[in-house]
Structure 1
Amino acid sequence: MMKKLLMLVVLIFPLISSAQIIYETVSSAKMQETREIKVQLPRNYEENKEKYYPVVLVLDGDYLFEPVAGIVDYYSYWENIPEMIIVGVNQAGSRNEDSSYDNERFLPSDEGAEFFEFLGMELLKTIDQKYRTAPFQIIVGHDLTANFLNYYLLKPEPVFEGYINLSPDLAPEMANRITSVLSKTESKRWYYLATGSEDIPQLKEGILSLDNQIAALDNDLLSYKFDNFKDASHYSLVGRAIPSAIESIFDVFGPISQKEYNEVLLQTSISPSEYLIQKYESIEKLFGLEKQIRLNDFLAIHQAIEKTRRWEEYDELSKLANDHFPGTMLSTYFEARYEEETGNPKKAMRTYQNAYGQQKIAFLDVDFMLEKANAIKRDFGY
């Protein structure tokens, strides 16, 4: 397992080195001291002046920052998740104090209360003021800090939408508190929980109990995932949990998958073009991100229409393609296919011919489009 974790580090290190990492010292009035943070900005952050990014706050940043930053950079490179700003808080030598809670109410106390306010009231505000942040935030922690991050979930208006718990060392009453809040949440929340077969026994017992409680909840606004990794220790599970957590949170963001294609788009009760529209509307609503529809997603819808022979779907798809890829042959091709399959061959032929002078895209070029026009001409003797 350690070999797998080492391989993960080897794979992501070059990605980290290609992204922009900033080392900063942040002053805290709450703690009356300074804290060191690391910030990874997305690739081409400076060039994309109009683009805004979700924020991932990584506790235990002295050792968790690099794995999280590397995975985010890698997945976002392939557009499976959005690009994000990663903020790591170094806690070497202070994590016990930072994570402290009292023995009566089991809520942050002393240094823990100060650190809680520093993160929620000072650090996040500083990041928002300095960088272009989208209104979507995730927090990540491991054992003590994984327990600590849940205190933000207990606030009347939580500042984080996503909570990644890596083998949390749960405080007394924490499991009941988490379950109660998640059962009643009126805003979308993502909650991830992980342990491993070789995790610390007393931690694993509490984690499995918490999983049973959350799994029994019935709340459509809760997106929950639990992993119990085989042969994973308290430390090695981290390398497997981070990508699993990130994928689960941004499941809807990624390109149309083979599963979506087979189980959704090929069902004749579903409008493929409407599904595409709703997918991207969900991305904007959930993550506060406006995103151009991917070319590959247009092609997936095209394939589904060809497979199901629902030719009327091409009409709406053509209009959508014109909005997202204007000046290319994509919209023209979909319009021509609509006319061709709904009984208007002459109009289809002329539409194919209209592609001359437009930009080629995907498999569509002038030769392809003119050949489609000539085939109709031959078949119908025009």
Structure 2
Amino acid sequence: MQKALLFLSILLCTVSISAQTIYEKFESRKLNATRDLKIRLPKNYDADSDLKYPVILVFDGDYLFEPVVGQVAFQTYFDKMPEAIIVGLVQGKERFYDSYHDEVTGLPIEFGARFYEFITAELMPYIDKNYNTSKFKVAVGHDLMGNFINAFLLKDDPLFKAYVNLSPDFKGQMAANISNRLTWLKEDIFYYMVTSDDDIAPLRGGILDANQKLQQVDNKALKYYYDDFTGDSHYTLVTGALSKALDKIFELYKPISDREFQEDILTYDGTLDTYISNRYQKIEDLFGIHKPISEDEFEKIVKAAIQRDDIASLEKIGKLANKQDPTTSYGTYYMALHAEKLGKTKKAKKLYEAALDLESTAHINKDLILNKVEGLTLATDDNESDSDN
């Protein structure tokens, strides 16, 4: 099974990169130089559409762009994260100057400060202007660039909402700076950091120290994730870390899990249409994208309503489904199920018959609905016969 998944990941990566990567040269006034960009757009991207996509900015795009693209293709295939616009910044020999920093604070200075301004004042505004981007931005950086991306956190309104630190080479007081900043941050921030027992020793020491500081941060707005791999080098940890990071950052986007079903939905204090509406509103508020509630998700909360003996939720779930898509049958089917459970046989039968005129879905097909109609017809006939006797 693992070999099959690995093969699929490689295949998706190969197809995705070759078919949808745009190579651009960006003229920067801040740097007085030209920078090469690799831009991967989502499958079926339409510039005229209202759909918005998160942006993942990959520093060290020379070698990190392709692993990020492959992992995003893999996770979007299984609906574990939204499709995203991935921007790889090729740095090459300029990397040393891009990461130039103050030895005490660890913050960008001189060349590094100009590179920082290039990102904030030129590159990201350009991406927002020319592509359908959402407000959710992710920064990915490895060792020196892992240190660099933390500088964006120190602004009042951080440019990036998620930070993927791949074995960061913390400089000066950077670890203390970010732990202090994250303590007082008011908006949701995702922060992922990784090292390994076979990582470069000085870097690993700094990361372990930073982790101790970050674990002490008591702030509900911070979503902090940390991994310490076994047996991976400074370079081989990248692939697994990207998988873990994206999985955690976009956890809310993923379909309802068994844990959520048992611990959150079954115990929810209120009708379940409210629960699922709030869940998807959080997705829109956080990631800046609109994700319709899938039929599978509707089926899960209907199942939960039945388990809870929560008849009131069935009707409200049906109305919510019809509001989202009145052309499909499952919303009307749920309303019919509500009427049936209340013993309103005639109303239930009419609703089931109305569902027959709508589009069938994966879970609610015409055969299922016809069985319901026939069962209620027999029940109605039996009741009428009993009343005649």
Category of TM-score, reference length = shorter chain: over 0.9
SS at match of 1:46: coil
SS of 1:354 mapped into structure 2: helix
Deviations 1:218-271 (A, max 9, x none): 111111111111212111110000011111111111111122112222226454
Q: Distance in 2 between matches of 1:104 and 1:272?
A: 53
* 1:284 CA drift (Å): 0.9
Which residue pairs with 2:185 in the alignment?
Answer: 185
Counterpart for residue 314 of structure 1: 314
Aligned partner of 2:49 in structure 1 is 49
Residue aligning to 1:139: 139
Give the match for residue 356 of structure 1.
356
RMSD: 1.9
In structure 2, the residue matched to 1:223 is: 223
Do the aligned partners of residues 50 and 18 (structure 1) sit closer, same or farther apart at CA in structure 2, a change above 3 Å counting? farther
Query: Are 1:283 and 2:286 an aligned pair?
Result: no
Q: Which structure is higher in helix share?
A: 2
Give the deviation of 1:48 after TM superposition: 6.3
Tell me the TM-score normalized by structure 1. Answer: 0.94
Q: Which region of structure 1 is more displaced relative to structure 2, 266-275 or 186-195?
A: 266-275
1:83 matched to 2:88? The reply is no
Moved more, 231-240 or 306-315: 306-315
Is the CA contact (8 Å cut-off) linking 1:141 and 1:164 kept in structure 2? yes
Helix, strand or coil for the counterpart of 1:87? strand
Partner of 2:74: 74
Distance 1:92 1:8, change over 3 A: farther
Partner of 2:115: 115
Q: Please tell me whether the aligned partners of residues 15 and 74 of structure 1 are also in contact (alpha carbons under 8 angstroms).
A: no
* Closer/same/farther in 2, CA of residues 118 and 349 from structure 1, 3 Å limit: same
| Structure 1: stretches of 5+ with no match in the other structure | none
Deviations 1:327-367 (A, max 9, x none): 21111110011111123122112211222221111232222
User: 1:196-211 maps to which residues of 2 (within 5 A)?
Assistant: 196-211=196-211
In the alignment, residue 331 of structure 2 is paired with which amino acid? S
Q: State the 1:19 CA deviation.
A: 4.6
Moved more, 58-67 or 204-213: 204-213
Q: Is residue 154 of structure 2 the alignment partner of residue 150 of structure 1?
A: no
Match of 1:232 in 2: 232
Which residue matches 1:243?
Answer: 243
Aligned residues: 379
Q: How does 1:252-291 map to 2 (within 5 A)?
A: 252-267=252-267, 269=269, 271-291=271-291
2:378 maps to 1:373: no
Q: Distance in 2 between matches of 1:96 and 1:18?
A: 29
Q: Mean Cα displacement is larger for which, 203-212 or 158-167? A: 203-212
Counterpart of 2:100 in 1: which secondary structure? coil
Whole-angstrom CA distance in 2 between matches of 1:18 and 1:346: 58
Q: Aligned with 2:197: secondary structure?
A: strand
The 2-side partners of 1:344 and 1:100 are apart by 73
Query: Which residue is equivalent to 1:326?
Result: 326
Taking a change above 3 Å as real, the CA distance of residues 350 and 21 of structure 1, as seen in their structure-2 partners, is: same
Distance in structure 2 (CA, Å) of the matches to 1:97 and 1:307: 61
C-alpha contact (below 8 Å) 2:13/2:69 kept by paired residues: no
**Structure 2: unaligned runs, 5 residues or longer:** 385-389
Using the alignment, how far apart are the partners of 2:15 and 2:273 within structure 1?
Answer: 35
Q: Do the aligned partners of 1:62 and 1:91 also contact (CA within 8 Å) in 2?
A: yes
